[in-house]
Amino acid sequence: MDYPSKFIEEAVTQISKLPGIGKKTALRLALHIIKDKQENTFALTNAINTLCENIQFCKHCHNISDSEVCMICTSHKRDRSVLCVVEDTQDVMAIENTSQFNGLYHVLGGVISPMNGIGPADLKIDSLVNRLNHGQSEIKEIILAISPTMEGDTTAFYINKRIKDIPMKVSVIARGIPVGGDLEYADEITLGRSITGRTLFN
């Protein structure tokens, strides 16, 4: 496509490199930026630059953070005996939103996926093992809250194997019928798991 301006062309090229944004959406955004007030655009680009320059990763849980140690790891209100292992930051935010978990987190930064060239060494698994092995560790239980996909299950098995010699309770989040979901439309594996993993009524 021919653009009427090289500035538009460069902006569209850069914006369309973002995930899930194609050339058409990028053009729509670029034309919005032209119409918008300059101060709004500078607020946007400043926020992105500031994010990119100042963001840190917590040295304990590897979640994104404004400081060397994140707010959850420094909080005195959190239960330090339970550790929830998740794939990425979005999962931490999703679990925090449920208000059902008050322990600490460990962010792996992905799952083992040989197809995409991601092995155990690319994830924060060694760091997790060190954290559990650490002499003063108060952790008594770890919860593997990893998506029940093939890659996620592989990762969970691998972590379980790596930590099997450390005396500790290891649990996984329940698989079953989503609340509000219809039994009829559930797939066989999920329905089977919901029966084998049944809990007592009350």
Stretch of residues binding a copy of itself (CB under 8 A), selected from 4-12, 123-131, 139-147, 152-160: 4-12
Per CB under 8 A, does 41 bind a copy of itself? yes
Per CB under 8 A, does 19 bind a copy of itself? yes
Instruction: Return the number of the residue (20 or 167) whose C-beta is nearest a copy of itself.
Output: 20
Mutual angle of helices 125-133 and 150-162, in 10-degree steps? 30
Per CB under 8 A, does 68 bind a copy of itself? no
Per CB under 8 A, does 32 bind a copy of itself? yes
Assess contact for 156 and 172: CB atoms under 8 A: yes
Question: How far from the centroid of its chain's Cα atoms is residue 85's Cα?
Answer: 10
Continuous segment of H or E residues that includes residue 144: strand 141-144
Assess contact for 104 and 78: CB atoms under 8 A: yes
Per CB under 8 A, does 13 bind a copy of itself? yes
- Among 23, 31, 74, 171, indicate the residue that binds a copy of itself (CB under 8 A): 31
Determine the Cα–Cα distance for residues 84 and 62; give it in Å rounded to an integer. Answer: 13
- Among 22, 23, 50, 116, indicate the residue that binds a copy of itself (CB under 8 A): 50
Provide DSSP, 144-179. Answer: E---SSHHHHHHHHHHHHHTTTS--EEEEPPPSPPT
Instruction: Report, in Å, the least distance between residue 86 CB and a copy of itself.
Output: 12
- Among 74, 75, 79, 96, indicate the residue that binds a copy of itself (CB under 8 A): 96
For residue 81, what is the DSSP state? T
User: Token digits for 110?
Assistant: 């992905």
Per CB under 8 A, does 65 bind a copy of itself? yes
CA end-to-end span of the chain:
63
| Interface contacts to a copy of itself, rule CB under 8 A | 1-8, 10-11, 13-15, 17-20, 25, 27-34, 38, 40-45, 47-55, 63-66, 70-72, 88-90, 92-93, 96-97
